[in-house]
A and B are shown apart, each in its own frame.
Chain A
Amino acid sequence: MIAETGLAALWLAAAMALLQLVGGLTLIRGEGRLTPVIKPAALIQGALCVVSFASLMWLFYTTDLSVLLVASNSHIDKPLIFKLAGTWGNHEGSMLLWVSVLSLSGAAIALLEKRIDTRTLQATLAVQAFVALGFFAFLLFSSNPFERLFPAPVEGAGLNPLLQDIGLAFHPPTLYIGYVGLSVAFSFAVAAMLTRQVGPAFARAMRPWVLGAWIFLTVGITAGSYWAYYELGWGGWWFWDPVENASLMPWLAATALLHSVSVLATRNALRAWTIMLALVAFAMSMAGTFLVRSGILTSVHAFAVDPERGSFILALMLMYTSLAFLVFATRIGTVKQGEPFQIISREGGIVANNIFLSVILAIVLIGTLYPLAAEAMGDKISVGPPYFNKATVPIALLLMIALLLGPLLRWRRDELKRYKYWLVAFFAVSLWTGVAIWRFVPGVGIFPILGLALSLALAIAAWVPLKGRNLLRTPLPVFGMVIAHFGLAVSVFGMAAESGFSRETLTALAPGETTKVADWQVKLDDVRPVVGDNWVATEGQLVARNKHKNFVLRPQSRQFYRPEQQTSEAALLTRWNGQLYAVIAQPDENGDGRWQVRLWWKPFVTFIWFGGLLVAFGGAIALLGRMFRRPKKPAVNKWAQA
Chain B
Amino acid sequence: MKPKHQRLVLAVIAFVALIGAGFIAAAALKEEASYFYTPTTMANAKIEPGKAIRLGGMVQKGSIKRDADGVSITFVVQDRDATQTVAYRGITPDLFVEGSGVVADGRLRPDGVFVADSLLAKHDENYVPKELADIDMNTAEHTKDTLSK
Contacts and interface: CB of A to CB of B under 8 A. Distances in A.
Interface of A: 160, 270, 272-273, 297-298, 300, 303-304, 337-341, 351, 355, 358-360, 362-363, 366-367, 370-371, 379-384, 386-387, 390-391, 395, 506-508, 563-568, 583, 585-586, 588, 592, 594, 596, 598
A337 B90 contact: no
A17 B66 CA distance: 62
Contacts, number: 131
Contacts of B94: 565-568, 586
Interface string B114-145: 00000000011011111101000000000000
Interface string B93-105: 0110000000001
A588 B21 CA distance: 48
B3 interface: yes
A355 B92 contact: no
Given A370-B33, A380-B131, A563-B124, A363 B24 contact: yes
A568 B70 CA distance: 19
A382 B7 contact: no
A298 B133 CA distance: 10
A351 B13 contact: yes
B7 A337 contact: yes
B14 A358 contact: yes
A596 B69 contact: no
A386 B70 contact: no
A585 B29 contact: no
A74 B10 CA distance: 53
A386 B32 contact: yes
B29 A387 contact: yes
Given A359-B20, A566-B94, A390 B124 contact: no
23 contacts: A304-B126, A337-B7, A339-B3, A363-B21, A363-B25, A366-B21, A366-B25, A371-B33, A380-B35, A381-B36, A384-B52, A386-B32, A387-B28, A391-B25, A391-B28, A395-B24, A508-B70, A564-B124, A565-B94, A566-B94, A585-B91, A586-B94, A594-B70
A565 to B, nearest CB: 6
A559 to B, nearest CB: 9
A564 B125 CA distance: 11
Contacts of B35: 379-381
B82 interface: no
B90 A298 contact: no
A380 B18 CA distance: 26
Contacts of B36: 380-382
A303 B127 CA distance: 9
B71 A596 contact: yes
Nearest to B117: A384
B1 interface: yes
B4 interface: yes
Given A358-B18, A363-B25, A366-B29, A507 B34 contact: no
Contacts of A395: 24
B91 A598 contact: yes
B65 to A, nearest CB: 11
B28 A596 contact: no
Interface of A is mostly: mixed
Contacts of A567: 94
Given A363-B24, A507-B69, A355 B13 contact: yes
Contact of A382 (B28, B31, B54, B66): B54
Contact of B7 (A272, A298, A380, A594): A272
B129 A298 contact: yes
A232 B36 CA distance: 24
Given A358-B18, A366-B25, A383-B32, 9 more contacts: A298-B133, A355-B17, A359-B18, A363-B28, A366-B22, A370-B33, A381-B35, A382-B34, A598-B90
Given A340-B1, A508-B70, A598-B91, A362 B25 contact: yes
Contacts of A360: 21
B69 A566 contact: no
Given A384-B105, A507-B70, A585-B91, A337 B28 contact: no
A440 to B, nearest CB: 29
Contacts of B129: 298
Nearest to B24: A391
Contacts of B17: 355, 358-359
Nearest to B72: A506
Nearest to A383: B33
Query: What 9 pairs across the A-B complex have the smallest Cβ distances?
Result: A508-B70, A380-B36, A566-B94, A362-B21, A387-B32, A391-B28, A366-B25, A359-B21, A386-B32
Contacts of B4: 337
Interface in B19-69: 20-22, 24-25, 27-29, 31-36, 52, 54, 66, 69
Contacts of A594: 70
A408 to B, nearest CB: 22
Contacts of A568: 91, 94
A370 B27 CA distance: 13
B89 A506 contact: yes
A273 B10 CA distance: 9
Contacts of B13: 351, 355
Contacts of A382: 33-34, 36, 54, 105
A25 to B, nearest CB: 32
B6 interface: yes
A359 B3 CA distance: 25
A564 B94 CA distance: 11
